[in-house]
Amino acid sequence: MLEILRYNEAAQETIEKRLASRNQLDMGEISEKVSGILKKVRENRDEALIEFTEKFDNVKLGREQIKVSNTEIADAIEKIEPGLADAIRKACKNIFAFHEKQREKSWFDINDEGVLLGQLIRPLDTVGVYVPGGTAPLISSLLMSVIPARAAGVRRIIMATPPQKDGSVNPNILFAAKEAGVDEIYRIGGAQAIGALAFGTETVPAVEKICGPGNIYVATAKRMVFGYCGIDIIAGPSEIAVIADDTAVPSFIAADLLSQAEHDPLASSILITDSMLIAMETLSEIEKQVAALERKDIIIESLERYGMIIVVDRIKQAFDIANRIAPEHLELCVRNPFESLGLVKNAGAIFLGNYSSEPVGDYFAGPNHILPTGGTAKFFSPLNVLDFVKRSSVISYNKEALMKNGKDIIRLAECEELTAHANAIKVRLDYLPVHGEENMTLKKEIKKEDLKGDK
């Protein structure tokens, strides 16, 4: 089921080729279909949403049914199983507490010349969250998308999710949406939902940013609407790497590798260890545990295509391999995980110790589980509060500062042969000696205590 590789240069080439092959999909036909859907939504608006919902979801909607009513939401809240409701509320609290710490404040500074510089932080106004609603409704991804936006201070959070076969929306999704802080919910899915959020329709408002996972059609639509609005990261197939020494527990490792493999046949689950005994016992545990799992067909396909157990001579090599892979999830099941943390350069989320199982982060701990995949953890970060704010630079020069620095600015503009830029400074330098200092300078007008950043 899983191949055990002794690490060497040839093994490294095998690892990289196998992982790279997950992203080599023929996008031509998909892109053409998605482009047609988006064009129709942009032109026909609600009419297109109704048409595509009937075509793809086999649900016939009236225009008034596109938006989920408060009555339907209230009914869903009544149906929620109490234990699940409690778990969702606890997860919301943990996720908000974590993301609240990521907030930045506006700041301003005045130097001795009276020049004011600063950065103004403002939340986005309207954000759209896409939530898949198929056989595995992703409540956790809903929380991870909505709560950072709420912590950032986004004024209006709307959600799109496809209807079930009977036309209703999954009640667990509706409950989680209200707990997380969603303002409006729309009964639409697929690429057409992304088009509605990006362009707006008679019923669905256009948003400034779209986030949330989806299938290949949703991901392609998000790529195509980027520029009309912002998007979060384009998430690829899920992946986990576990670094383990002889202190690790094989049954734990096996369970965590299987937890990622059940996502998708393209998911990747990798163990890197310096112990052949741990490698063999983990393989045995995988074969034992997979037999009892509901999604075992998906798991087996994933493990056979993209799963690996890599045995290295020294544990330091395991970190070198992991940094080259830059996995979405990285578990350190080693003797002193905190001491080893400094060896990690590239990973979306890092789990320390035998009891920090990856699903702890997926559902409950607080850090975001919308993470960079496919090696993009080398340059991307998890979804966070800063993805839902914009930063504006603030610049205010007074007369003295412009007189002192104007010639340098002119030289730089003229170096680029942008004479109109240079002229904008020259006219001010010519004006000042004639008109004197009749106006108060910023240095005199503004006090630092008047320029407090946002609380």
Angle at 370 between CA 367 and CA 373, to 5 degrees: 120
Cβ count within 10 A of residue 257: 32
Token pair of 381, please? Answer: 């970060």
Cβ count within 10 A of residue 60: 11
- Catalytic residue chosen out of the listed positions 99, 263, 329, 369: 329
Rg (C-alpha) for the chain, rounded Å, is 27
- Residue keyed to tokens 């799963």: 307
The answer to whether the CB of 174 falls within 8 A of the CB of 77 is: yes
**Chain-centroid distance, C-alpha 342:** 24
Torsion of CA 158, 161, 165, 167, to 10 degrees: 10
- Residue keyed to tokens 């912590």: 151
Looking at residue 416, its amino acid is: E
- Catalytic residue chosen out of the listed positions 179, 328, 331, 358: 328
C-alpha distance from residue 337 to each of 221, 307, 332, 356, 366 (Å) = 40, 23, 6, 11, 20
How does 191-227 read in b/e, with b if 16+ C-beta sit within 10 Å? Answer: bbbbbbbbbbbebbeebbbbbbbbeebbbbbbebbee
Name the DSSP letter for residue 113: T
Any catalytic annotation for residue 328? yes
Q: Report the alpha-carbon distance of residue 203 to residue 186 in Å, rounded.
A: 9
How does 337-375 read in b/e, with b if 16+ C-beta sit within 10 Å? Answer: beebeebeebbbbbbbebebbbbebbbebbbbbbbbbbb
Q: Which helix (H) or strand (E) holds 352?
A: strand 349-352
Token pair of 319, please? Answer: 């970190």
Q: Report the alpha-carbon distance of residue 191 to residue 220 in Å, rounded.
A: 8
The answer to whether the CB of 331 falls within 8 A of the CB of 358 is: yes
- Name the β-bridge partners of 126: 156
Of 181, 351, 137, residue with least CA distance to 257? 351
List active site positions: 328-329
